């Protein structure tokens, strides 16, 4: 079995990142407590970064009430810091600013590959 050497990994990651045509902002999860000690969740927006956003068809999702509805897949650079409690805001698609940014929660674990990361997303509902 072939394992990637350092140069190959650098090239794979560079190729992955140059194919990311969208822009997103990672909303880092945070938690504090109110005066009565109840937890309060907040999100802190990070810097805009390249990503690869891919909406998914409902036909690609299992038809069960117990399974979260995955609405999108997101590719991110290998060095992106993520927590499964973070959120993602998509601000540009193919270089064009969206009239209304799209906000998603991460569903399931972060999948780390040799050239980048992939997460599945579910729309945030208020």
- How far the first Cα of the chain sits from its last, in Å, is 48
pTM score above 0.95: no
How many CA atoms within 13 Å lie on the side-chain side of 42? 7
Confidence bin at 66 (pLDDT 50/70/90)? low
108 lies in a domain? yes
101 lies in a domain? yes
Mean pLDDT, to the nearest integer, of 11-19? 77
- Which residue range forms the structural domain that includes residue 94? 6-123
1 lies in a domain? no
CA-CA distance, 74 to 124, in Å (whole number)? 15
CATH number of the domain residue 105 falls in? 2.40.10.270
CA-CA distance, 7 to 18, in Å (whole number)? 17
CB atoms within 10 A of CB 86: 21
pLDDT at 19: 81
102 lies in a domain? yes
Report how many domains make up the chain. Answer: 1
CA-CA distance, 27 to 89, in Å (whole number)? 7
pLDDT digits (tens, 9 = 90+) for 77-123: 988 999 999 999 999 999 999 999 999 999 989 998 888 899 999 98
For residues 89 and 98, the answer to whether their CB atoms sit within 8 Å is no
């Amino acid at each position: 079995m072939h394992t990637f050497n350092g140069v190959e990994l650098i090239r794979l990651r560079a190729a992955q990142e140059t194919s990311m045509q969208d822009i997103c902002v990672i909303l880092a999860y945070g938690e504090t407590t109110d005066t009565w000690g109840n937890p309060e969740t907040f999100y802190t927006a990070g810097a805009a970064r390249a990503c690869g956003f891919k909406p998914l068809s409902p036909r690609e999702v299992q038809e069960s009430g117990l399974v979260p509805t995955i609405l999108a897949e997101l590719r991110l650079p290998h060095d992106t810091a993520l927590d499964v409690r973070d959120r993602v805001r998509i601000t540009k698609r193919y270089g064009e600013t969206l009239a209304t940014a799209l906000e998603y929660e991460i569903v399931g674990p972060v999948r780390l590959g040799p050239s980048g990361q992939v997460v599945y997303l579910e729309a945030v509902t208020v």
